[in-house]
Amino acid sequence: MVPQSAYTAFVSWVQGAKAVFLFLFAHPAAGAENRKEKKQMKLNGSQIFVEVLAEQGVDTLFGYPGGAVLNLYDELYKNSDRIHTVLTAHEQGASHAADGYARATGRTGVVLATSGPGATNLVTGIATAYMDSVPMVAFTGNVATTLLGRDSFQEAYIEGITMPITKHNYTVRRVEDLADTMRAAFRIAQQGRKGPVLVDIPKDVTAAVCEFTPKAPELIRTVTSYNEEDVKKAAEMINAAQRPVVYFGGGVRSAAGCQPLRDLLEKAGMPATYTLMAAGVLSYGEPHNLGLLGMHGCYTANKAIDEADLVIAVGTRFSDRVALNPDTFAKRAKIIQIDIDPSELGKNVAVDLSLTGDASYILQAILPYVEKTEHKLWMEQIRQWQKNDYKPVDSDTELKPHQMIAEICRQAGPEAVYVTDVGQHQMWAAQYLHHTKSRGFLTSGGLGTMGFGYGAAIGAQMALGRDARVIMLTGDGSFHMNLNEGCTAVSYGLPIITVIFNNQVLGMVRQWQTTFYGKRYSDTDPHRHTDFVKVAEGFGAKGYRATTPEEFKAAFADAMKQQGPSWIDCRIGKDEKVLPMIPGGGDINDIIME
């Protein structure tokens, strides 16, 4: 028998030899003259940066070069066969692209920017990812460690700036700490409630040399702190309910899987409603799907929550756009809340039972204890309420948002991925898109970032490939903020179709001014004369203009044939409204339907 100590030593030797072999194999160009150095794994910070990215499975990096990150970009150039870099028009666009990449795939998005203004231009994108729990790692360059804190050229204290909008952030002051700091960033971005992490790397760290040891990516631990008694109690509450409703949010999309939610709805025979961040988890037209909940949610969904005797809140935080009045939200119901983040439990609305952990695993644990039920009377009542849902009026001559979206769905098909900016078009998209994919609707929910859409669409298209169908829905107000990324879409030949709901006003704010501010339209009519068709052509994209349903149908059909990006300027009425609407602080009794 081989002694245990000898066996352990042998295994360690084999693992070490394997690591060295893998590293050398990844660097076939290494000559005999530096073979000894490679065996010792001596690398500079830029080489370590690339090695850890590859180690973590990163295949695409979005960003913009600058002085503080020249060493990093030089090394990325040498490794372009391993990691694809995408140059955007602006660092904010790069951050949104990394975000869109992550939302479309579930993988961690990566963005790189230089110091000072390059780093601060990422802030809005990082905050957007933070509010929507999107896994992203942002790398920024900085001045050399000897210049930190001296108001040096293009210096910014980005670690302090981003502290409130990241899960964690770091400034790497020693090259010896770089690899493990990067590894920790990728782990933190994905573990528990997902979110962005920032790593700031001074320029001298990218040039300094130290020993490097390859490591496999860490296994992400599943957060579960619920107990069996709570699981049984939740099932008992579900079995006892006569009017149950599941209300779920983006945490379901981020969970290990969505199927346990569908299994629960089927087994317990109960309906479900969702937040903006969870649109698409349930396919359009599913019998259990009540539609969107909250300020611009449908009447039936809001009425069902108001009349329910049990609400099972899964992966959602009772935001002020859903629980508009926390004191009256689901006032007749007991509430079970399931969330991976314990800080969200009972934070906005008092709950009767809370369970912490990945929604998928908790629902799987509950399912065996749930009785097979149909709740026929409750579902019949819901069908009656659905007769009162808001129904927009069609037109044969004017462009109507709901008809445009129906035509988009018909032509783009069930596998399309839809990306939105923020405003009226975003709400129309959430209301009328025929969602069939859990990651098929990408939008800025928590922060509500105008200008999010085009960068995110670029990230999604890059992640999914040119054969994927990505549709970007925007308003003229939002699109003006980041339409400069049109040059990025053209440069990379991305067939993104952009549909501009152009009412020539800031529609959502104007709608509020109409309803609550006596039609005092303060700075919501910008009097812009932008010709989006000419701007598209100036970038090298295909431009269309549509003023009637027939023109839009033809324009969209032609855009579907293009190999590069297309913009369709759709002229809609400035008085088109997003309905229904419940004012902030109101409830179902305050709903506006016309």
- Which residues are catalytic, by number? 91, 153-154, 203, 508
Q: Characterise 248 by phi-psi region: left (phi > 0), alpha (psi -120 to 50), beta (else).
A: beta
Joined together, the tokens standing for residue 566 give: 């297309």
d(CA 423, CA 436): 23
Strand locations in 266-420 (E) = 272-274, 289-292, 310-314, 334-339, 353-356, 417-420
471, 104 contact by CB (below 8 A): no
Q: Is 76 helix (H, G, I), strand (E, B) or coil?
A: helix
DSSP letters along 192-235, please? SS--EEEEEEEHHHHH-EEE----PPPPPPP-B---HHHHHHHH
DSSP letters along 16-45, please? HHHHHHHHHHT-TT--GGGHHHHHTTEEEH
Closest by CA position to 135, among listed 61, 199, 190: 190
Joined together, the tokens standing for residue 252 give: 């379901």
**Contacts by residues 547-553 (CB-CB < 8 Å, ≥ 24 positions apart):** 547/399, 547/571, 548/397, 548/398, 548/399, 549/395, 549/396, 549/397, 549/398, 549/399, 549/400, 549/403, 549/404, 549/407, 552/399, 552/404, 552/407, 553/407, 553/411
d(CA 183, CA 428): 40
Helix, strand, coil % in the chain, rounded to nearest 5: 45, 15, 40
316, 339 contact by CB (below 8 A): yes
SS3 sequence of 461-516: HHHHCCCCCEEEEEEHHHHHHHHHHHHHHHHCCCCCEEEEEECCCCHHHHHHHHHH
SS3 sequence of 323-343: CCCCCCCCCCCEEEEEECCHH
Give the chain's radius of gyration (CA, Å).
Answer: 26
50, 58 contact by CB (below 8 A): no
Closest by CA position to 294, among listed 264, 330, 333, 258: 330
Q: How many CB atoms lie within 10 A of CB 266?
A: 13
